[in-house]
C-alpha cells in the first residue's frame, strides 16, 4: 500500500513538473519575441502591400508584396523618407503629406485610389488605406496597398460592353428608320436645293445683290446646310444597306477621279494628287469604294476650315493596293483615335457618327483594312488597303 501511495505521489509530482515546464516555455517564448516573429511572417505573407512609417516619415517596413508591386527592393525603400522614394508621385506629394499629418493626429482617412509608379516606368492602380498604430509608446502609420489594376480593367471592359450594347440598341432603331426616313427626306431636300440654286442665280443678276449683299451670304449658307443634311441622309442610307460588294477588275485611279468630281474642294485647300497610273487593277465594287473615298475627302476638307493641303496618293505595297488620303488639319486626339470607327461616335458638332462606320464596313467586306495616323495640330492620314488578286 505504501508503495502504491508513493507511486501516486510521484505521478502527481511529475504532472506538476510537466505543467510548470510548459508554462515556463510559454513565458520564455513570449520573452524571446516569437509573437513578434509571427507578426512579421504574417506581414510578409500578406498578398497586399504593407508599409510602416514612423512619425518622422521614415519607412520602417516594406513587405514582399509591396516590393513586387513597385519593383523596388526593400533595401531601396526601408530607411528613407516616404517622400523621397519613387513610389509616391511628386505632383501629388502635398496631398499625401496632408494625409500623413492627419494620421499622426489620429484621424483615419477614407481609403482612396491612386496611380503608383513602378521602378521600370510603368504604373499600377492601387487602393490605399492607412491608420495609426502605437507600438511601445511610438506612433507608427501603417499603409495597406491593394493592387486593383485588374479590377479596374474589368470595370472598364464592363463599361465598354455596356456602351456597345447601348450603341447596338440605337443602331437597331436607326436601321429600322433609316431607309424610309432617308428616302422621304431626300426628295424635299433636292427640291429645296434646286429652288435655292434658282433664286441664287436670279438674285446674283439683280440690283438686290448689290444693295443687300447678305442675301447672297444667306443663300450660300442655305446651300451648305442642305449639303450637310444630304450627307447625313446618305450616311443613314449607306449604313442601312451596306451589302455584299459586286466586284470587278477596276483601275483605282478612275474611282478616285470620279470621287473628286463629286466633291467640292475649297479654294483655300491645295489638292495634291499622286496617283500611279501603272498600278494593276483591283477587284472591288467601284461604287462602294467611291463612297469611301468621297466620305474621307469630305472629312479631310472639314478638318481644314482655315485651309491647308489635301494629298491623295496610291501605291502597290506588300500585296495591297493602298489609297492614302492625308490632310494638314486639326488632327485626331489620341483618346478619340480608337473610337472613330465606333457607331454613333463623332467629334463633329453636326455629325451623327456613321460616315466612318460605313467606310469600315465596306472595306471589311472587301477583305481590306483602314489604318489611321494622326497628330493633333498637324493633320491626319487615312490609308485604305485593298488586297490585290494573287496571280
* Per-residue pLDDT tens digits for 337-353: 777 776 655 656 555 55
User: What average pLDDT does range 7-14 have in this prediction?
Assistant: 45
Question: Do 259 and 382 lie in a common domain?
Answer: yes
CATH number for 54? 3.30.450.20
Q: Helix, strand, coil proportions of the chain in percent (round to 5)?
A: 50, 20, 25
Q: How many separate domains does the chain show?
A: 3
* 320 and 350 within one domain: yes
Give a yes or no: residue 302 inside a domain: yes
Indicate if 71 and 184 belong to the same structural domain.
no
143 and 158, same domain (yes or no): no
Residues ≥6 apart with Cβ < 8 Å to 227: none
The answer to whether residues 184 and 287 belong to one domain is no
Residue 27 covered by a domain: no
CATH number at residue 265: 3.30.565.10
pTM surpassing 0.85?
A: no
**CATH code, domain with 171:** 1.10.287
The reply to whether 109 and 141 lie within a common domain is yes
49: helix, coil or strand? strand
**Mean pLDDT across the stretch 307-333?**
92
Q: Which three cell numbers stand for residue 101?
A: 499629418
One domain, residues 72 and 56: yes
8 A C-beta contact, residue 224 and residue 218 = no
Q: Which residue has the cell 515556463?
A: 24
Is 30 within the bounds of a domain?
no
User: Of 121, 147, 173, which marks where a domain is finished?
Assistant: 147
Domain assignment of residue 191, yes or no: yes
Q: How confident is the model at residue 127 (pLDDT cuts 50, 70, 90)?
A: very high
Same domain, 255 and 383: yes
* Residue 235: domain span: 154-240
pLDDT-based confidence at residue 18 (cuts at 50, 70, 90)? very low
Q: What is the pLDDT of residue 229?
A: 81
Q: Is the domain of 355 the same as that of 373? A: yes
- Is 29 within the bounds of a domain? no
Asked if residue 8 is part of any domain, the answer here is no
265 and 375: one domain?
yes
Residue finishing a domain among 147, 177, 198: 147
**How far is it, in rounded angstroms, from Cα 231 to Cα 46?**
60
In a domain, 295, yes or no: yes
Question: Are residues 186 and 81 part of one domain?
Answer: no
Same domain, 46 and 123: yes
**DSSP 3-state assignment of 185?**
helix
Please give the Cα distance from 264 to 245 (Å, whole number).
Answer: 27
Mean pLDDT of the chain: 82
Last-in-domain residue among 147, 174, 196: 147
Amino acid 382: pLDDT: 94
pLDDT in tens, 188-207: 888 888 888 888 888 887 88
Amino acid at each position: 500500500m505504501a508503495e502504491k501511495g508513493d507511486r501516486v505521489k510521484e505521478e502527481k509530482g511529475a504532472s506538476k513538473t510537466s505543467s510548470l515546464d510548459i508554462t515556463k516555455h510559454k513565458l520564455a517564448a513570449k520573452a524571446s519575441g516569437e509573437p513578434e516573429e509571427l507578426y512579421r511572417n504574417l506581414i510578409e505573407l500578406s498578398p497586399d502591400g504593407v508599409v510602416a512609417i514612423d512619425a518622422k516619415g521614415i519607412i520602417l517596413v516594406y513587405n514582399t508584396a509591396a516590393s513586387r508591386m513597385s519593383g523596388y527592393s526593400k533595401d531601396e525603400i526601408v530607411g528613407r523618407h516616404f517622400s523621397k522614394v519613387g513610389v509616391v508621385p511628386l505632383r501629388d506629394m502635398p496631398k499625401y503629406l496632408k494625409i500623413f499629418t492627419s494620421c499622426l493626429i489620429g484621424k483615419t482617412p477614407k481609403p482612396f485610389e491612386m496611380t503608383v509608379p513602378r521602378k521600370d516606368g510603368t504604373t499600377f492602380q492601387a487602393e490605399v488605406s492607412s491608420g495609426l498604430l502605437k507600438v511601445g509608446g511610438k506612433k507608427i502609420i501603417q499603409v495597406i496597398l491593394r493592387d486593383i489594376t485588374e479590377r479596374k480593367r474589368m470595370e472598364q471592359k464592363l463599361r465598354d460592353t455596356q456602351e456597345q450594347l447601348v450603341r447596338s440598341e440605337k443602331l437597331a432603331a436607326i436601321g429600322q428608320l433609316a431607309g424610309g426616313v432617308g428616302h422621304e427626306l431626300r426628295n424635299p431636300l433636292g427640291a429645296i436645293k434646286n429652288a435655292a440654286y434658282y433664286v441664287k442665280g436670279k438674285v446674283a443678276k439683280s440690283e438686290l445683290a448689290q444693295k443687300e449683299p447678305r442675301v447672297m451670304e444667306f443663300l450660300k449658307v442655305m446651300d451648305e446646310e442642305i449639303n450637310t443634311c444630304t450627307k447625313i441622309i446618305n450616311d443613314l442610307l449607306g449604313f442601312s444597306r451596306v451589302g455584299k460588294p459586286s466586284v470587278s477588275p477596276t483601275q483605282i485611279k478612275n474611282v478616285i477621279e470620279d470621287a473628286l468630281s463629286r466633291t467640292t474642294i475649297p479654294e483655300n485647300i491645295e489638292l495634291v494628287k499622286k496617283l500611279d497610273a501603272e498600278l494593276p487593277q483591283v477587284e472591288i465594287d467601284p461604287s462602294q469604294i467611291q463612297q469611301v473615298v468621297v466620305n474621307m475627302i469630305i472629312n479631310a476638307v472639314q478638318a481644314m476650315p482655315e485651309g491647308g493641303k489635301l494629298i491623295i496618293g496610291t501605291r502597290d505595297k506588300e500585296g495591297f493596293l493602298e489609297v492614302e488620303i492625308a490632310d494638314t488639319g486639326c488632327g485626331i486626339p489620341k483618346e478619340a483615335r480608337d473610337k472613330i470607327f465606333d457607331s454613333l461616335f463623332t467629334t463633329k458638332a453636326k455629325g451623327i457618327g456613321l460616315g466612318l462606320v460605313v467606310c469600315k464596313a465596306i472595306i471589311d467586306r472587301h477583305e481590306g483594312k483602314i489604318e489611321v495616323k494622326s497628330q493633333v495640330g498637324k493633320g491626319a492620314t487615312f490609308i485604305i488597303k485593298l488586297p490585290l488578286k494573287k496571280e
